[in-house]
Every structure is written in structure tokens, then in C-alpha cells.
Amino acid sequence: MTDASSAPAPHRSAAGFDLTPPSEGQRVALEADLNPEEARVLLSHGTEAPFCGVLLGEKRKGVFCCRECGLPLFRAGTKFESGTGWPSFTEPVDPEHVRAIRDTSYGMVRVETVCARCGGHQGHVFPDGPPPTGLRYCINSVALTFVPEGEPLPDPLQRGDGVA
């Protein structure tokens, strides 16, 4: 049996968010809360159809968080119209919040992006975005939850991480 004093200290990003992965029990609960399309994208590295995502036209100030674990991934101010059919961003809230993984599926070489806390598939990042980064984080709407500025962030892991 493990007591709280022997549990590892939380790993916090520079932005102050706890990046400690969910426990097995927390992961089961998070995954049970996903609808079939969210599960297909987040857990099975799927892609939603272009121009169908509910967040494609979202223009309010706020933060886009991981649908699975609630970690803030992208600020609304970094979102741009790429014409690709998926929400696109120039940079994450914090570089530690989005992990890049080499993806060689479908005969292509791409860079997959996943949530650094829960590992949920978000989309891909490409080197063809606008200044200042030159990057285009092409993200599935169903992998995100939008939180308008000033509202509490989703906190399904009860980590008390804050407000958008």
C-alpha cells in the first residue's frame, strides 16, 4: 500500500499546470466520459472529417483544453484560419503541454501532437504556419474543449489548475 507521502511530486509546467499523468483509475473514468467520436480520435489516433468540427469557427477569447483531461493546450489568440478544415494554432499555451511524436502512418512522415498529460491524440503540427512561429498545429475539434475567457477551466482530475 502506498501512502500520500511516497507519491511522486507533481510535475508542473512553466505555466503552472500539473502534468502528472492520470492514475489508471482516473484514466478509466476520463475515457468513460468520452463519446464514441471523441474516443476514436483521442484514444485511437483518429481524424474527424474536415470542415465539420464545432470549434472550427470559434472566435471568442479563451482557451482550448484537452477534451480528455482538461489541460490547457492553445490560447484563442494563437488560432488562425488555415483553410484546411481543422482548427489551427501557431503555438501551444506552454511547449510542455503538447508532446510531438514522429508519425509514419499512411506512407507519410508527419509529427503527431498529443496532450502531454494524458497522451490523448490531438492532431499534427506542420512547418507551414504563419509568423511568428511558422508552425501550424492542425487539431481535431473533438479533441478539444473551448473555455471562454474568465470561466473556470475543466478540472476532471481535481487538480485546481485555474481559470481561462
42-79: pLDDT as tens digits = 999 999 999 999 999 999 999 999 999 999 999 999 99
Q: What mean pLDDT do residues 14-26 have?
A: 94
Q: Determine which helix (DSSP H) or strand (DSSP E) holds 144, and give its type and residue range.
A: strand 144-148
What pLDDT score does 120 carry?
97
In this prediction the pTM is 0.90
Q: Please write the tens of the pLDDT for every residue from 92-141.
A: 999 999 999 998 887 888 899 999 999 999 999 999 999 999 999 999 99
- Fold topology of 16-148: 2.170.150
How is the chain split into domains, by residue range? 16-148
Query: Which of the residues are catalytic?
Result: 138
Task: Note if the bond before 132 is cis, omega within 30 degrees.
Answer: yes
Q: Tell me the C-alpha distance between 74 and 147, whole Å.
A: 11
In 88-102, which positions are buried (b, 16+ CB within 10 angstroms) versus exposed (e)? bbbbbbbebbbbeee
